A and B are shown apart, each in its own frame.
Chain A
Amino acid sequence: MASEPIVAVEIGTSKVCALVGEAREDGHIMVTGIGHCASCGVRKGVILDLEKAGACVRTAIQGAEQSSQVEIGKVFLVVSGEHIRSMTSQGSTPVMDVKTGVTQDDMTQVMDIARAVNLPHDRELLHSIPRKYMVDDQLVVSNPEGMRGAKLSLDMLIVHGARNVLTNAVQAVHNVGLDVMDVAFSGLCAAMAVLTPEQKECGVALLDLGAGTTSYLVYADGAIALAGVLAVGGDHITNDISIGFSVSLKRAEMLKQEAGSVIPDSSMHFQRLSIPAEVGFPACSVAASDLSAVVQARMDETLGLMAELFKKQGLTHQLGAGVVLTGGGVHLKGVVPMAEQVFDLPCVMGMPVNYSGMAMASDGPEYAVPLGMLRYAVRSGAYRQMERIGWGGLFGKLWGRS
């Protein structure tokens, strides 16, 4: 049975993308429409120009409406940017009735307590995700319902972001006459699109190599242990190339996409890549080995920072399923083998799992984030609501374990 269409919008640094999807049985999602538009007014995942970003959203939505033949009024918005951080929070509550054991009420109660963290006034709670329950300080791996004990504790991961940046993102979408049903963090969305339950169980790190940012989400011991964003992405590579070889950003982007590689290929030692002339920039040629040195340095650093962070958090040894790379940056030649070297863990390219429909969207790693947003919307059940959630309820919603 097809459900009503769900729309996910991602205002990314390189592109604004709108996907229309329908939930099918067993969590399968069918993509029925897609619209995208080259992004402007966005840097490092953060909207700098509401008007320009709004115009891009409008174009993307129009494309999605055309290809899916539905009228779009409500969307689910992906948010990203370095302002998004995660922290853990604990809460505990006495079990109300010792005879019946832990009830659903106790669980709600403990969640409310764990979630009630004091964030600074400029921060907004994005997600609060239960990691593990404990009954009388004994670890309960899964659902504690019905367990006997006197005290129920919960360990939660709190994902929060800067309030004004989040408000701006929502505002940009409002400005083009759309209602935002819910927002979700890009790293979480990407994880929902590409990670399998087995990977989550073994422990896995997901890196979304976006244009403006690199989002990460780490599962350890079957629960999310870390989430956040590093504001370094594919744009930085382009910028490095542009500065290094004095070419326009457009040409630099072209060079990156066509010849960018992180592994110096011995066949290109003495090869030069020619760049055609364009207004303001004469034709020139660039040594292929230099290009790869520039790209390699940046990628090595970005992945190195991630590896260091995981190490510092003591997570490296818990990543049995290694590292999954997704996002447009995966298309850079040699990035997966390089990641294997940097992390010293198995690395794979993350492909969306259990999607069908529009081939372009459901195959490539670059649409992992909006695809994941569709799944997020389905799981949270929010797409069934008729009314948009007010500011009070918009954030801080609970997202259960998956």
Chain B
Amino acid sequence: MNTTDKPKVYQAKGMATREASVTRLALPRTLVMGLGNGGCKTVIAMERQWKEGPRVVAVNTDGRSLAEAGDLAGLHIGERVIKGLGTGGEPRMGRRAAESDIEAIRGLFRDVDVVFLVVCLGGGTGTGAAPLVVEEARKAGALTLVFASLPFEFEGQRRMELAQRGLMALQSSADAVICLPNQRLLELVEDKANIAAAFQKTDDMLARGLQAVWCVINRRGVINLDFEDVRALVQKGNGRCVFACAEGTGPDKVQQVLEAVRHHALLNHGAVLAEAEAFLVTVMGGSDLALKEVDQLMAGIAKIGRAEALMMTGVCCENDWQDRLFVVFLVAEKKGADGLAFIAPQRDDEPAGVQVSAAPVEEPTPEPASRGKIKQVGLFDKVSQGRFKDVDATVVDGNNLDIPTFKRRGIMIQKVLRNHSS
């Protein structure tokens, strides 16, 4: 069915970027990359659940975790720098590892249009290397969507801090970041579940979300959604986005799903949905999915959300899913929602991302974009007003409108690709 995702024969890269898209395959070529211990576990879980997915690769500094990956493609980075052991939870080491094997990482992004990066923030490899990896992916011309999980509270304050810095760095470099705070998962795990099971659960959740978003983008659904929808959604939420899944079986599957949404821990018992600026709903069902059911479901969901919220809907059917309804929500959280402590940026005197040296936010960028380098225009860049610098500023409600809107709204753009040859 989806053999189209597997790379076939591709043109040389230079040609692909310069020539018209006519010669290219219609579907975006997707690469799912797990980075770091958590990220690798997730992609392994994903590969296990789901056989006919996109190209998957696991990248880690720890050789042992890659060994578990089985037949999954793996890339061992930083061997020379850290001798095959872990990073010891040091993002700096993670970054160095990625830097030392940058050529190999770059190689992975050849002929790829969309990169899904899965990373569990708070450790060394994922947190440190992710911004660099994203940068490389964007340099290669790929869109980047990052799935990031944040550590449980019991993992300690330090890991949480690192994770938050890493998240900030990712938010300012990736096209879109979808965030899963593990702490919210606690409610989903039974009291007696052991720690291994809890982590297993987070991996599964991330894997499912990933799968769902991949489906959104790639499956030719009955009602289709694409990457631009996902990106638009994430931008609505200022790059903050959470996801949740709900499943129902049997004749009252719609009610089951709606009930699950109302009590979903990841959606803060429906509150996240109720306050959301925008959300994307992907309905996956079997070939027996009735229009009426979808209608009931969407009406129920619309009732939970705000009337003015932007709702995007996609529906796709799997032949082998009889009598089963799987609904995935991607929710752009309300701007400045108070429940967002878990990703509230650290604004102490220490500039963000000091330890995460990969963070583009702390890179001083005084020289005008050096040739060939992609630079992200982020929220934290020095503000420029260009031609309006010598006239009175247009200020409305405290906003200086002469500053480009995309900067004030924190919309990330790939800067430019300089053509050396021409």
A-to-B contact residues, CB < 8 Å:
43-44, 46, 48, 82, 230-232, 235-236, 239-240, 242-247, 249, 264, 266, 269-272, 274, 277, 282-287, 289-290, 293-294, 297-298, 300-301, 305
Given contacts A236-B401, A270-B113, A298-B405, contact A285 B391 (CB under 8 A): no
Report the bound CA distance from A323 to B383 in whole Å: 33
Given contacts A270-B21, A297-B411, A301-B401, contact A246 B369 (CB under 8 A): yes
Min C-beta distance of A297 to chain B, whole Å: 4
B-to-A contact residues, CB < 8 Å:
17-18, 20-21, 24, 28, 113, 141, 143, 226-228, 232, 235, 368-369, 371, 377, 384-388, 390-391, 394, 396, 401-402, 404-407, 409, 411, 413-419, 422
Report the bound CA distance from A271 to B24 in whole Å: 11
Min C-beta distance of B12 to chain A, whole Å: 16
Report the bound CA distance from A282 to B405 in whole Å: 25
CB-based contact A284/B417 at 8 Å? yes
Q: Which residues from B are CB-within-8-Å of A298? A: 404-406
Report the bound CA distance from A364 to B294 in whole Å: 46
CB-based contact A269/B227 at 8 Å? yes
Min C-beta distance of B412 to chain A, whole Å: 9
CB-based contact B405/A301 at 8 Å? yes
Given contacts A270-B113, A290-B413, A293-B411, contact A43 B418 (CB under 8 A): no
Q: Given contacts A269-B28, A277-B422, A294-B411, could you give 8 more A-B pairs where the C-beta distance is less than 8 Å?
A: A43-B387, A48-B390, A245-B413, A249-B387, A269-B227, A284-B417, A297-B404, A305-B396
Report the bound CA distance from A83 to B227 in whole Å: 43
Given contacts A236-B401, A297-B411, contact A270 B418 (CB under 8 A): no
Point out the residue from A242, A272, A290 that lies within 8 Å of B386, measured CB to CB. A242
Q: Which residues from A are CB-within-8-Å of B411? A: 293-294, 297
CB-based contact A285/B406 at 8 Å? no
Report the bound CA distance from A239 to B402 in whole Å: 9
CB-based contact A274/B18 at 8 Å? yes
Q: Which residues from B are CB-within-8-Å of A246? A: 368-369, 415-416
Point out the residue from B141, B227, B384, B418 that lies within 8 Å of A243, measured CB to CB. B384
Given contacts A239-B404, A246-B369, A293-B413, contact A285 B419 (CB under 8 A): yes
CB-based contact B226/A266 at 8 Å? yes
Point out the residue from B143, B394, B401, B419 that lies within 8 Å of A283, measured CB to CB. B419
Instruction: Pick from A44, A270, A272 the residue with the most CB of B within 10 Å.
Output: A270
Can you list 21 A-B contacts with CB-CB less than 8 angstroms, sorted by A residue number?
A43-B388, A44-B391, A46-B391, A235-B388, A239-B387, A240-B404, A244-B413, A269-B113, A270-B141, A274-B18, A283-B418, A283-B422, A284-B418, A285-B417, A285-B419, A290-B413, A297-B404, A297-B406, A297-B409, A298-B405, A298-B406
Closest A-chain residue to B228, C-beta based? Answer: A264
Min C-beta distance of A46 to chain B, whole Å: 7
Closest B-chain residue to A238, C-beta based? Answer: B387
Min C-beta distance of A344 to chain B, whole Å: 10
Q: Which residues from A are CB-within-8-Å of B407? A: 243-244
Report the bound CA distance from A284 to B18 in whole Å: 11
CB-based contact A269/B228 at 8 Å? yes
CB-based contact B391/A43 at 8 Å? yes
4 tightest Cβ-Cβ pairs between the two chains A and B: A240-B404, A297-B405, A290-B413, A231-B394
Report the bound CA distance from A294 to B377 in whole Å: 12
CB-based contact B416/A245 at 8 Å? yes
Min C-beta distance of A314 to chain B, whole Å: 18
Point out the residue from B235, B394, B416 that lies within 8 Å of A284, measured CB to CB. B416
Report the bound CA distance from A246 to B387 in whole Å: 13
Q: Which residues from A are CB-within-8-Å of B406? A: 240, 244, 293-294, 297-298
Min C-beta distance of A254 to chain B, whole Å: 15
CB-based contact A285/B387 at 8 Å? no
Closest A-chain residue to B386, C-beta based? Answer: A239
Closest A-chain residue to B419, C-beta based? Answer: A283
CB-based contact A284/B402 at 8 Å? no
Report the bound CA distance from A43 to B404 in whole Å: 16
Min C-beta distance of B328 to chain A, whole Å: 21
Report the bound CA distance from A231 to B228 in whole Å: 31
CB-based contact B17/A82 at 8 Å? no
Report the bound CA distance from A266 to B28 in whole Å: 12
Q: Which residues from B are CB-within-8-Å of A44? A: 388, 391, 394
Q: Which residues from A are CB-within-8-Å of B368? A: 246
Min C-beta distance of B401 to chain A, whole Å: 5
Closest A-chain residue to B402, C-beta based? Answer: A236
Report the bound CA distance from A270 to B416 in whole Å: 14
Q: Which residues from A are CB-within-8-Å of B394? A: 44, 82, 230-232
Min C-beta distance of B247 to chain A, whole Å: 30
Report the bound CA distance from A240 to B141 in whole Å: 22
Min C-beta distance of B77 to chain A, whole Å: 27
Closest A-chain residue to B308, C-beta based? Answer: A344
Min C-beta distance of B381 to chain A, whole Å: 10
Q: Which residues from A are CB-within-8-Å of B143? A: 269
Point out the residue from B28, B232, B235, B409 that lies within 8 Å of A270, measured CB to CB. B28
Report the bound CA distance from A239 to B403 in whole Å: 9
Report the bound CA distance from A176 to B180 in whole Å: 67
Q: Which residues from A are CB-within-8-Å of B384? A: 243
Report the bound CA distance from A236 to B385 in whole Å: 9
Min C-beta distance of B198 to chain A, whole Å: 38
Q: Which residues from A are CB-within-8-Å of B413? A: 244-245, 287, 290, 293-294
Min C-beta distance of B68 to chain A, whole Å: 34
Report the bound CA distance from A264 to B409 in whole Å: 17
Q: Which residues from B are CB-within-8-Å of A240? A: 404-406
Q: Which residues from A are CB-within-8-Å of B405? A: 236, 240, 294, 297-298, 300-301
Min C-beta distance of A285 to chain B, whole Å: 5
Closest A-chain residue to B227, C-beta based? Answer: A269
Report the bound CA distance from A351 to B237 in whole Å: 38
Q: Which residues from B are CB-within-8-Å of A245? A: 413, 415-416
Min C-beta distance of A225 to chain B, whole Å: 20
Q: Which residues from B are CB-within-8-Å of A272? A: 17-18, 141, 417
